[in-house]
Amino acid sequence: MKKLSIRNIEPAGKRVLMRVDFNVPLDDDGNITDDSRIKGAIPSIEHLTNAGGRVILMSHLGRPKGEKNPAFSLKPAADRLGELISAKVKFVDDCVGPDAAAAVADLQNGEVILLENVRFYAGETDNDAEFSKQLAAHGDIYVNDAFGTAHRAHASTAGVTDYIDTCAMGFLIEKELEFLVTKLEEPQRPFVVIMGGAKVSDKIKILERLMEKADAFIIGGAMANTFRLAQGYQIGMSLAEPDATDLALEILETAKKNNTEFLLPADTRHTKEFADDAPTEVTLPWGEGGEIPADREGIDIGDLACKEFAAKIAEAGTIIWNGPMGVFEKRGFDIGTKAVGAAIAANENAIKIVGGGDSVTAANQFGFGEKMDHMSTGGGASLELLEGKELPGIAALDDA
Give the pLDDT confidence of 1-18 residue by residue, as tens digits: 689 999 999 999 999 999
Mean pLDDT of the chain: 94
**Residue 85 pLDDT greater than 80, yes or no:** yes
Cα→Cα distances 158→9, 142, 161, 323, Å: 19, 10, 6, 29
Dihedral of alpha carbons 155, 159, 164, 170, sign:
positive
6-171 and 179-386: identical CATH topology:
yes
For range 50-70, the mean pLDDT: 96
| CATH dotted code for 6-171 | 3.40.50.1260
Please tell me the predicted confidence (pLDDT) of residue 383: 86
At 100-152, the pLDDT tens digits run 999 999 999 999 999 999 999 999 999 999 999 999 999 999 999 999 899 99
Choosing among 3.40.50.620, 3.40.50.1260, 3.40.50.2300, 1.20.120.160, the CATH entry for 179-386 is 3.40.50.1260
Cα→Cα distances 379→16, 176, 363, Å: 27, 12, 14
Element (H, E) at 346: helix 335-346
At 307-325, the pLDDT tens digits run 999 999 999 999 999 999 9
Lowest-confidence pick of 234-238, 303-307, 358-362: 358-362
Cβ contact 144:384 at 8 Å: no
In whole angstroms, give the CA distance from residue 201 to residue 157: 28
Q: Which of 58, 24, 44 is CA-nearest to residue 159?
A: 58
In whole angstroms, give the CA distance from residue 185 to residue 62: 35
Helix axes 221-230, 245-257, angle to 10 degrees: 90
Which residue in 199, 209, 213, 371 is the catalytic one?
Answer: 199
Which residue in 3, 15, 19, 37 is the catalytic one?
Answer: 37
Pairing of strands 191-195, 89-92: unpaired
**Residue 356 pLDDT greater than 90, yes or no:** no
Please tell me the predicted confidence (pLDDT) of residue 355: 85
In whole angstroms, give the CA distance from residue 212 to residue 68: 47
In whole angstroms, give the CA distance from residue 73 to residue 116: 7
> What does the radius of gyration of the chain's CA atoms come to, in whole angstroms?
23
Identify which has the larger pLDDT, 309 or 360: 309
Q: Quick check: is 205 catalytic?
A: no
Please tell me the predicted confidence (pLDDT) of residue 191: 97
**Residue 187 pLDDT greater than 80, yes or no:** yes
Please tell me the predicted confidence (pLDDT) of residue 157: 97
**Residue 200 pLDDT greater than 90, yes or no:** no
In whole angstroms, give the CA distance from residue 325 to residue 14: 48
Please report, rounded to a whole number, the percentage of residues in the chain having pLDDT higher than 70.
100
Please tell me the predicted confidence (pLDDT) of residue 339: 97
Contacts of 100 (CB under 8 A, 6+ apart): 92, 94, 115, 116, 138
Q: Quick check: is 53 catalytic?
A: no
Which residue in 52, 317, 332, 380 is the catalytic one?
Answer: 380
Q: Quick check: is 357 catalytic?
A: yes
Q: Taking the CA of residue 371 as centre, how many other CA atoms within 13 Å lie in the half-sphere pointing to its CB?
A: 19
At 144-176, the pLDDT tens digits run 999 989 999 999 999 999 999 999 999 999 999
For range 191-203, the mean pLDDT: 89
**Domain residue ranges in the chain:** 6-171, 179-386
Which residue in 326, 357, 378, 393 is the catalytic one?
Answer: 357
Element (H, E) at 195: strand 191-195
Q: Which residues pair with 191 in a beta bridge?
A: 318
Does the model's pTM come out above 0.85?
yes
